[in-house]
Amino acid sequence: MSETVVAPGEPGSAPGSKGLKGGALGLVAMIVIGVASTAPGYSIAASLGFVSEEVGVFAPAIMLLAFVPMLFIASAYFYLNKVDPDCGTTFSWVTRAMGPQLGWLGGWGIFIADLLVMPSLATIASSYTFLLFDAEGLADNTFWVTALGVVFILAMTWICYIGIELSARSQIGLLSAELVTLVLFSGVALWKVYVDEPAGSIRPSFSWVNPLEVDTSGAFAAGVLIALFIYWGWDTATTVNEESENSRHGPGVAAVVSTLILLGIYVVTAIAAQAFAGPQTLIDNADDVLSVLGREVLGTPWDKLLIISVLTSAAASTQTTILPTARTALSMGAHKAAPAALARIHPVNLTPSVATVFFGVASSVWLVGLTIVSENVLADSILAVGFGIAFYYGITGIACVLYYRRQLFRSVKNFVFMGVLPLLGALGLFWAFGKSAIDLAKPENSESGESWMGLGPPLVIGVGLLLLGIPLMVLWWTQHPEFFRRKLEIAAEAGPDDT
């Protein structure tokens, strides 16, 4: 396949050319969207106990280590966004650097990852709403949790449909409540550790943040795989690039800053929780460590703040999962890689109307369908999310190296930030993909414990849905070959904006 050399800063299409509302988001709004997309309150509540189970007191070290490949991939997002601020992100960038076939599959990977995580986010938001009002019976009732979960999905779909500014304002409110609560919890927990010395508490040690202290490679790997999931979502800051100020620079900065903020949130909260209660308490309450510790740290009724934190976290992430998927679909429709209807923009709201509604409905149907089949299948589908994450993040890192390969040796900065870091991030994520495949191939490692074709359901669901993209791509290729005639592109060797 022949290549087209593109001078740095010369995109294939102008930012905002798809009809989205350009200049609507500032840097702060993009950072908020990037952080909120990871659902930090929910993520720490749902993962810290499981990480502790694998590595004991070194859970904060694993949080730190899992951050590294995310930061490296964020570097790839920064540089690829500079040359192509397209809301399709991975789809558009991989298409340029690696060809339309892999680009199409990159877009499919985003769709699958986001679709798989939506039931978890919606049901968490639903069940915590019931818990907030002390309706434990409803929180344990599958029908009512599912019904309210669908309401959450449709409500967040409506907000995304109305306009990007409303989406950003709602995110600021939800994230603010979430972060204030986590900071309050961490501060009070550490204060009590040093002042009151509650039973079971242990004073923090610098060894807790040293990954080299972890004893076994198996526990180390399992802990990292769990922790990687909690950082996923910061890339939403780049999917709103066509609606942002300074679209070539701001979204990339927001992506990098988002990962740094998340690192601080996770490490500090992990240290505080572990210091207050010890790792065994976290392990014994792995399903939700924050609600259990909230009563002991903050007391009643202030422990409700942590319930609100997880609730707002899941609700915010439900919304910010719809945003990137709709914009990826919009980009694919605009580039003729998907039905043209997905590229329709609402004439007043200036949002991807069809793509937003489509994903909202698809997510609702997916949630209801999985619930009807089995709650265990629902849980297994959530375990499958990591395959999509590792795939599309990983190929984005490779795309950065390939696209900028003629500029890598022009300076140390280029070599490190355009080449070494994205490549290492991609290799780390592909390792995570392979390790997950090996572990989840065993039926006993699934939530259901069932065997599908001799394999664990999470592997069949995650990898199976990714592979389903291949025949779908071939089908579209045979009917609409124009997109697949695109040539590879590569950045020129020199230019005014090559660093």
Decide the pairing of beta strands 488-491 and 3-6. Answer: parallel
Q: Can you tell me the distance from the alpha carbon of 403 to that of 83, in angstroms, rounded to the nearest whole number?
A: 10
Q: Can you tell me the distance from the alpha carbon of 106 to that of 90, in angstroms, rounded to the nearest whole number?
A: 6
Tokens 């599959």 -> residue: 105
pLDDT of residue 326: 95
At residue 381, does pLDDT exceed 70? yes
Q: pLDDT band at 2, cuts 50/70/90?
A: low
Q: Can you tell me the distance from the alpha carbon of 88 to that of 325, in angstroms, rounded to the nearest whole number?
A: 9
Type and span of the H or E element at 120: helix 100-132
The structural domains of the chain, with segments of one domain joined by +, span 3-491
| 138-147, 167-176, 435-444, 487-496: least confidently modelled range | 487-496
Type and span of the H or E element at 4: strand 3-6
At residue 124, does pLDDT exceed 60? yes
Q: Which CATH fold would you assign to the domain 3-491?
A: Amino acid/polyamine transporter I (1.20.1740)
Q: Can you tell me the distance from the alpha carbon of 329 to that of 358, in angstroms, rounded to the nearest whole number?
A: 10
Q: Can you tell me the distance from the alpha carbon of 49 to that of 37, in angstroms, rounded to the nearest whole number?
A: 21
Residues shown for the chain: 499
**Inter-CA distances, 174 with 186, 222, 239, 308, Å:** 19, 31, 20, 10
Q: 145-171 pLDDT, tens per residue?
A: 999 999 999 999 999 999 888 778 888
At residue 415, does pLDDT exceed 50? yes
Q: Is-cis flag, bond preceding 301, omega within 30?
A: yes
- Determine the 3-state secondary structure of 5 from DSSP: strand
Q: pLDDT band at 217, cuts 50/70/90?
A: low
Q: Can you tell me the distance from the alpha carbon of 152 to that of 139, in angstroms, rounded to the nearest whole number?
A: 15
E strand intervals along 361-459: none
DSSP characters for 126-162?
HHHHHHHTT-HHHHT-HHHHHHHHHHHHHHHHHHHHH
What are the phi and psi torsion angles at 72 (to 5°)? -65, -40
Mean pLDDT, residues 383-388 taken together: 85
Highest mean pLDDT among 23-37, 64-78, 293-307, 351-365: 351-365
Q: Can you tell me the distance from the alpha carbon of 6 to that of 235, in angstroms, rounded to the nearest whole number?
A: 24
Q: 360-369 pLDDT, tens per residue?
A: 999 999 999 9
Q: Can you tell me the distance from the alpha carbon of 93 to that of 297, in angstroms, rounded to the nearest whole number?
A: 46
- Percent of the chain with pLDDT strictly greater than 70: 93
pLDDT of residue 496: 40
At residue 307, does pLDDT exceed 70? yes
Mean of the per-residue pLDDT values of the chain: 88
At residue 375, does pLDDT exceed 80? no
Q: pLDDT band at 299, cuts 50/70/90?
A: confident
Mean pLDDT, residues 10-19 taken together: 57
- Percent of the chain with pLDDT strictly greater than 90: 49
Rg (CA), the chain: 22
Q: pLDDT band at 8, cuts 50/70/90?
A: very low
| 162-166, 247-251, 275-279: least confidently modelled range | 162-166
Start-to-end C-alpha separation, the chain: 27
Write the DSSP symbol of residue 244: B
Count the neighbouring beta carbons within 10 Å of the beta carbon of residue 414. 17
Q: Can you tell me the distance from the alpha carbon of 253 to that of 247, in angstroms, rounded to the nearest whole number?
A: 10
Q: Which amino acid is at 186?
A: S
At residue 455, does pLDDT exceed 70? yes
Burial (CB count <10 Å: 0-12, 13-18, 19+), residue 275:
buried
Mean pLDDT, residues 400-411 taken together: 95
Q: Can you tell me the distance from the alpha carbon of 74 to that of 87, in angstroms, rounded to the nearest whole number?
A: 16
- Is the model more confident about 353 or about 300? 353
Tokens 């414990």 -> residue: 449
- Asked if 320 and 236 count as a contact pair (C-beta separation under 8 A), the reply is yes
The secondary structure of 263-297, three-state, reads HHHHHHHHHHHHHHHCHHHHHHCCCCHHHHHHHHH
Q: 461-498 pLDDT, tens per residue?
A: 999 999 999 999 999 999 999 999 999 999 887 554 45
